[in-house]
Structure 1
Amino acid sequence: MSGDETVDVLVAGSAGALAGAYTAAREGLSVTIVEATDRFGGTFAYSGGGGMWYPGNPVLVRAGVDDTVDDALRYYRAVVGDRTPAELQETYVRGGAALIDYLERDEHFAFKILPWPDYYSSAPGARTDGMRHIVSKAVPDERLGRFAGLVRGPLDHERLGAPAPDLLTGGRALVGRFLWAMADEPAVTAHLNTALVDLVVEDGRVTGAVVEHDGARRTIRARRGVLLATGGFEHNDAMRTEYGVPGAARDTMGAPANDGRAHRAAIAAGAAVDLMDQAWWSPGLIHPDGRAAFALCFTGGIFVDRDGRRFANESAAYDRLGREILAAMAAGTVTLPYWMVYDSRSGEQPPVMATNVSFSPTEQYRARRLWVQADTVAGLADEIGVAPAALENTVRRFNDFAARGVDDDFGRGAEAFDRAFTGDASPLVPIDTPPYRAAAFGVSDLGTKGGLRTDRDARVLDTSGRPIPGLYAAGNTMAAVSGETYPGGGNPIGASLLFSHRAARHMAGI
């Protein structure tokens, strides 16, 4: 990179932002993408599914799904409430189908259904069979042309040194398909290891940005606008503290450059922010490197607090469960680490189907006392530092629930998501097979979700509620349309893609 540059559209970020870059290029605009790391894809590329929650989209319609967008909107509003503007909520819920139709007109894109239940199945309009959720079909990395070998992830590759597969699946597949679609497009320029550090504002309009590469700064001018979709600020502990985001950068699953620089640049340009204390939460299995990593799909076990008592529905959707954990921490009844208590019916590993970062060798967890065991429940209580009588009572009570199939304390198994990974069987699995075991857990997140306030076209709003000309935001750089909830799998990615797409359409004047 040398000298200044002028294009129609500058896109900062390379996860959901790619939908904006692709749309702008397809509509005849010149585009420059700047990505702060050495790979494309951001946190999006870490997603094992890469799902999109788009009710009534063409993939589902072709399969004969009997859902309606009105039902989906009723569900979404019931879950999110009035925490975010109704106009934004309706734009998201109604807009996904049109985006998939737009993409399917290009042979580079192909999708399939991956059933994933809504996360609040008792809310009106909920879909318990998962038929609002689709994913990209896999694509070989070799098809990506000039972008081959440049998609971030998967997590096992980055954290454990496992070989990166040649077939792109999950979130990596859709990132790859966007790159494949732009690989031969001369109007698209992309710069890796290039971070947006400031915005250029002239007469109240954003006309470009200052970017940094290898310590050198330069300006990229943007005739139509700048789209900020660089992720959240989860890797910035100072910002987490400033805005009151629980947890630590060490335990986030966010991509490494998600440090809030774009947030800071936009705030300096007059942008309003919202939801800055929020993140996409989850329980975090603590691995031998000391980091708590996003974990879900629990097929057994119970979580206990510092007094050896259960405190939540362990099979609840991960963000709901994460919020219960945080509430217990705020109340002082849970300290880190807390423990999953289970038995030996399935071996030594805790009953976690999806760890996101694969299990390390068992002896490493044992050596760091992250996994402990005892021949009796009382002995296990001594191992994890809780009162033996309390833990014995907790296990006895839970085993009674398991025998009856009803959790009188927390309703585990009552919602569709609770049973999604047990073949619809009860997740109330008794703890009665010695030796008894416990695994250490913390709190993880998929990234912060607080960011810049926007309108339905992803235009960033100032503190008076007026659009800042030339500035757009999407993904976790935008204040999440879902507010303080996580309505269903595919919401973060789905919203990121849609609002990036809408930003580009607005810049293109369509």
Structure 2
Amino acid sequence: MNWDEEVDVLVAGSGGGLCGAYTAAREGHSVLVVEATDKFGGTTSYSGGGGMWFPCNPVLRRAGVDDTLDEALTYFRAVVGDRTPAELQDTYVRRGGGVIEYLEQDDSFSFQVFPWPDYFGKAAGARLDGNRHIIPTPLPADRLGALSESVRGPLATDRLGEEQPSTLIGGRALIGRFLLALSKFPNAALRLNTALAELIVQDGAVTGAVVEREGVRTAIRARRGIILAAGGFEGNQELRERYGVPGTARDTMGPWGNLGRAHEAAIAIGADTDLMDQAWWSPGMIHPDGRAAFALWFTGGLFVNQDGVRFVDESAPYDRVGREVIEQMRSGATTLPYWMIYDDSNGVVPPVQATNVPTVEPEQYEAAGLWHTADTLEQLAERIGVPGPALVATVARFNELAERGRDEDFGRGDEAYDRAFSNGESPLVPIGAGPYHAAAFGISDLGTKGGLRTDSAARVLTASGEPIRGLYAAGNTMAAVSGTVYPGGGNPIGASVLFSHLAALDMLG
């Protein structure tokens, strides 16, 4: 093989998988990170919090949290079940704290507690106070220097053209801190607009890859191994349809470069896959550009379907709401769009405190037929195409439940997460007097979660369960350790950071 370049470790993708690049560089090995797009950060950079679900990590221990790994593992297994290997689950829960300890030895990294309740509050071992979750400390952009302009996002910048803020927060802060740390190592290189095209196999082992930049193909030898952490394939409509992923590429929150090329390259050499019909779901408020975007933190309102009937706990964790909408769609009980119904307490803008993509002028939503206002519920029902008597009855029933303080129909407020945005109070806020409003919602996702099947060292496996020498996967390129559920905020980024770290340690060991 005639190689154009040689490094010890090649990393495809620049989201949470940067942890693998950092680990390899810190341990003294040459590293090249190739990012298919013009910005670093992937889906991680779009995360508002950049959180990681790592029970009993050093940040939590310093804060006096009394959790145990056994209790956390009890919870994780209770919600994930046997959908993924027990060893993989055990590795995620027990070794997450170790990667934070490793990173905190470098002053480029700083984290803080950000309580975020577990998403299945009634499951055994659930932590209702949220103390399994940490986020990166905000990072002033000037500390990162010129590299700050190379960090993807935020969404307000990428979708609406707003200027990048002077401080990196959430997922952007995490990416910024990895870039800051990597900049200290002369043995680490980062390359934008460079996509993984294919993997090279020699004598049964992955020894390198072909990457493409501006139409030029380059063969890169990776002496120690390759980490595929290039995100999911949520932006590739053809792959979504092939694997039966509900929703559309238009409505994903993943960046445009997440097309599944790393998946396809690995599949072409015999890698096994799992969970390929799965994604991290959410309800999506529809914006004037026609895209449904991840929305949470509802301080009022209720959802109704095309029959004017309520069908879900609106305050439940976003993935659980999204999955319920999908099941309703499959059965024909709900079609898109469905509608948030709310009163005029805060004017025409829906009671959604975290739209992720900022809202624009109300007139644009109204002109697009996405927001409607009427003096009566009957008139509102006519404008959104649902039966008037049904909508009136639905609101009356909801108000009755709100007055009682207990949602006997869908359990809104029965779990800790439901009350996370209402200071522990019931999220059942009655619909008051008119005028009344309706806002159109659809389905969004935070990326696909199906990918390459791996072992607990992040080694990619064949269908027979044998590791493919030299090939590793993490993040949304790896089949999610959480299976078909979303155990808690920070699970996707946490798994990406941890398994890319473990991949680097394994290939260098």
Provide TM-score, normalisation by structure 1.
0.99
Instruction: Write the letter of the residue equivalent to 1:473.
Output: A
Structural mapping, 1:101-500, within 5 Å: 101-145=101-145, 147-500=147-500
Alignment coverage as a number of residue pairs: 508
Structural mapping, 1:24-39, within 5 Å: 24-39=24-39
Name the SS of the counterpart of 2:6 in structure 1: strand
Asked if the contact 1:136/1:174 (under 8 Å) is kept, the reply is: yes
Asked if the contact 2:26/2:185 (under 8 Å) is kept, the reply is: no
What is the distance in 2 between the residues matched to 1:184 and 1:105? 14
- Tell me by how many angstroms 1:17 deviates: 1.1
Name the SS of the counterpart of 2:307 in structure 1: coil
Instruction: Write the letter of the residue equivalent to 1:218.
Output: T
Asked if the contact 1:182/1:188 (under 8 Å) is kept, the reply is: yes
What is the distance in 2 between the residues matched to 1:309 and 1:144? 51
Asked if the contact 2:151/2:176 (under 8 Å) is kept, the reply is: yes
> Mind listing any 5+ residue stretches in structure 2 that lack a counterpart?
none
The answer for the alignment partner of 1:75 in structure 2 is 75
After TM superposition, the structure 1 stretch with the greater mean CA deviation from structure 2, 137-146 or 496-505, is: 137-146
What is the distance in 2 between the residues matched to 1:356 and 1:92? 28
What is the distance in 1 between the residues matched to 2:433 and 2:10? 59
What is the distance in 1 between the residues matched to 2:356 and 2:473? 28
Change (3 A) 1:436 1:507: same
- Tell me by how many angstroms 1:141 deviates: 2.1
Question: Do structure 1's residue 504 and structure 2's residue 504 form an aligned pair?
Answer: yes
What is the distance in 1 between the residues matched to 2:115 and 2:349? 27
- Tell me by how many angstroms 1:300 deviates: 1.1
Instruction: Write the letter of the residue equivalent to 2:42.
Output: G
Name the SS of the counterpart of 2:488 in structure 1: coil
What is the distance in 2 between the residues matched to 1:501 and 1:216? 30
The answer for the alignment partner of 1:52 in structure 2 is 52
After TM superposition, the structure 1 stretch with the greater mean CA deviation from structure 2, 481-490 or 327-336, is: 327-336
What is the distance in 2 between the residues matched to 1:14 and 1:211? 15
What is the distance in 2 between the residues matched to 1:398 and 1:145? 52
What is the distance in 2 between the residues matched to 1:99 and 1:124? 26
Instruction: Write the letter of the residue equivalent to 1:20.
Output: G
- Tell me by how many angstroms 1:182 deviates: 1.0
- Tell me by how many angstroms 1:140 deviates: 1.8
Measured against aligned partners, the alpha-carbon deviations of 1:241-271 in whole angstroms (never above 9, x if no partner) come to: 0000000000000011000000000000100
Instruction: Write the letter of the residue equivalent to 1:178.
Output: F
What is the distance in 2 between the residues matched to 1:149 and 1:358? 20
- Tell me by how many angstroms 1:433 deviates: 2.1
Measured against aligned partners, the alpha-carbon deviations of 1:381-407 in whole angstroms (never above 9, x if no partner) come to: 101111111111111101100000011
Name the SS of the counterpart of 2:196 in structure 1: strand
Asked if the contact 2:308/2:391 (under 8 Å) is kept, the reply is: yes
Asked if the contact 2:344/2:437 (under 8 Å) is kept, the reply is: yes
Measured against aligned partners, the alpha-carbon deviations of 1:469-505 in whole angstroms (never above 9, x if no partner) come to: 0000000000000000000000000000000000000
- Percentage of identical aligned residues: 66
Asked if the contact 1:145/1:183 (under 8 Å) is kept, the reply is: no
Instruction: Write the letter of the residue equivalent to 1:18.
Output: L
- Tell me by how many angstroms 1:439 deviates: 0.1
Instruction: Write the letter of the residue equivalent to 2:217.
Output: R
Measured against aligned partners, the alpha-carbon deviations of 1:411-441 in whole angstroms (never above 9, x if no partner) come to: 1000001010011111111112210110000
Measured against aligned partners, the alpha-carbon deviations of 1:95-131 in whole angstroms (never above 9, x if no partner) come to: 1111111111111111101110000000011011110
Asked if the contact 1:144/1:183 (under 8 Å) is kept, the reply is: no
Instruction: Write the letter of the residue equivalent to 2:71.
Output: D
- Tell me by how many angstroms 1:145 deviates: 4.8
Name the SS of the counterpart of 2:150 in structure 1: coil
Asked if the contact 1:146/1:183 (under 8 Å) is kept, the reply is: no
Instruction: Write the letter of the residue equivalent to 1:343.
Output: D
What is the distance in 2 between the residues matched to 1:39 and 1:464? 37
Instruction: Write the letter of the residue equivalent to 2:214.
Output: D
Name the SS of the counterpart of 2:206 in structure 1: strand
- Tell me by how many angstroms 1:167 deviates: 1.1
What is the distance in 1 between the residues matched to 2:433 and 2:227? 55
What is the distance in 1 between the residues matched to 2:219 and 2:186? 21
> Mind listing any 5+ residue stretches in structure 1 that lack a counterpart?
none
What is the distance in 2 between the residues matched to 1:90 and 1:15? 23
